[in-house]
Amino acid sequence: MGLCPSTSSGPRSRAAAMNCRAEVLEVSVEGRQVEEAMLAVLHTVLLHRSTGKFHYKKEGTYSIGTVGTQDVDCDFIDFAYVRVSSEELDRALRKAVGEFKPPPCRPQDALRSSGSDGMGQISLEFYQKKKSRWPFSDECIPWELWTIKVNVVNLANEQERQICREKVGEKLCEKIINIVEVMNRHEYLPKMPTQSEVDNVFDTSLKDVQPYLYKISYQITDTLGTSVTTTMRRLIKDTLAL
């Protein structure tokens, strides 16, 4: 699949080329709200895309573990969301989101440009691995792509920040409803794999839950309009190119 191309095609057109489902969400937040807003969206998606651990028995049957959930209150947004009770998964998402830091707007640019400040987007992609014969490497075939576009705004005073807390909270509620709507369309999901194939469909590295294989990547556009594509080490590892 390779790395995400930088700016020429939008996420939906790329996904269409890859024949996978693509959804785009857009949020405008203050700088300190970025992390919580991203975690809220990513956790909500992964709540729906995680199962309990599979335990395979003889004759190809398997049983499924139990997924626990917990409420998370945001500190900088009037918002709460539900995530899977898995510290490993939470750590992985926090690590990914922690590296996603859209730059704050420079004061002179804020005065010049009336609209956007810093921008960036974070992508959560679910994929399957397809084993290839030597010397070809495994292929990663995406089947669902979530793109969250983030506009970072600068606020002047505490009153604006308070309003922003509430407004962003309301917007995130709408995003959660959007996500749930997509999830309940019951569109394509990978087949349940056999034991030998389970690692091609699910991430079995976590000890308590089993999300579908996913990767997170992000783009940051600074105020000059240049884009810097940064990918996680996992993305590079998973999408070996000759």
Partner 1 sequence: MDTDLSSQDRKDLDKFIKFFALKTVQVIVQARLGEKICTRSSSSPTGSDWFNLAIKDIPEVTHEAKKALAGQLPAVGRSMCVEISLKTSEGDSMELEIWCLEMNEKCDKEIKVSYTVYNRLSLLLKSLLAITRVTPAYRLSRKQGHEYVILYRIYFGEVQLSGLGEGFQTVRVGTVGTPVGTITLSCAYRINLAFMSTRQFERTPPIMGIIIDHFVDRPYPSSSPMHPCNYRAGEDNGAVYPSVEDSQEVCTTSFSTSPPSQLSSSRLSYQPAALGVGSADMGYPVLFAGGLNAAHPHQLIGPGKEGGVPPVPSQPAHGTQADQERMCTPLDGVHYSAATPSSSEDTETVSNSSEGKCGSPHDLLETIFIRKVGAFVNKPINQVTMANLDIPFAMFAPKNVELEDNDPMKPAFSKDDILPMDLGTFYREFQNPPQLSSLSIDIGAQSMAEDLDSLPEKLAVHEKNVKEFDAFVETLQ
The residue type of 238 is D
204 binds partner 1 (CB under 8 A): no
Selected from 19, 113, 137, 229, the binder of partner 1 by CB under 8 A is 19
The residue among 85 and 154 lying less far from partner 1, judged by its C-beta, is: 85
Toward partner 1, which CB reaches closer, 24 or 141? 141
Contact call for residue 238 and partner 1 (CB under 8 A): no
Selected from 34, 84, 140, 220, the binder of partner 1 by CB under 8 A is 84
**How far is Cα 236 from Cα 216, in angstroms, rounded to an integer?**
11
Residue with tokens 């003889």: 58
* Beta strand 69-73 pairing with 80-84: antiparallel
In angstroms, the CA 232 to CA 215 distance is: 8
**Does 55 contact partner 1 by CB under 8 A?**
yes
Number of residues located near partner 1, criterion CB under 8 A: 64
- Taking CB under 8 A as the rule, does residue 131 contact partner 1? yes
Give the up-direction half-sphere exposure of residue 166: CA atoms within 13 A in the CB hemisphere. 5
Nearer to partner 1, 21 or 118 (CB): 21
Instruction: Find the binding residues for partner 1 in span 134-193 (CB under 8 A).
Output: 141, 143, 166, 172-173, 176-177, 179-181, 183-184, 186-193
Query: Nearest distance from residue 116's CB to partner 1, in Å?
Result: 27
Distance CA 101, CA 103 (A): 6
> Would you give the DSSP letter of residue 104?
P
What the block records as the tokens of 224 is 């000059």
Q: How far apart are CA 129 and CA 40, in angstroms?
A: 27
Helix residue spans in 85-157 (DSSP H): 87-98, 107-112
Stretch that binds partner 1, among 24-32, 108-116, 125-133, 219-227 (CB under 8 A): 125-133
How many other C-beta atoms are found inside a 10 Å radius of the C-beta of residue 88? Answer: 14
Contact 34, 150 (CB under 8 A): yes
Q: Does 113 bind partner 1 (CB under 8 A)?
A: no
In the set 86, 121, 147, 219, which binds partner 1 (CB under 8 A)? 86
Query: In terms of CB distance, is 200 or 221 closer to partner 1?
Result: 200
Nearer to partner 1, 81 or 218 (CB): 81
Query: Distance from first CA to last CA of the chain, Å, rounded?
Result: 12
Contact residues for partner 1, defined by CB under 8 A? 19-21, 44, 47-48, 51-53, 55, 57-71, 73, 78, 80-82, 84-86, 128, 130-131, 141, 143, 166, 172-173, 176-177, 179-181, 183-184, 186-195, 197, 200-201, 207-209
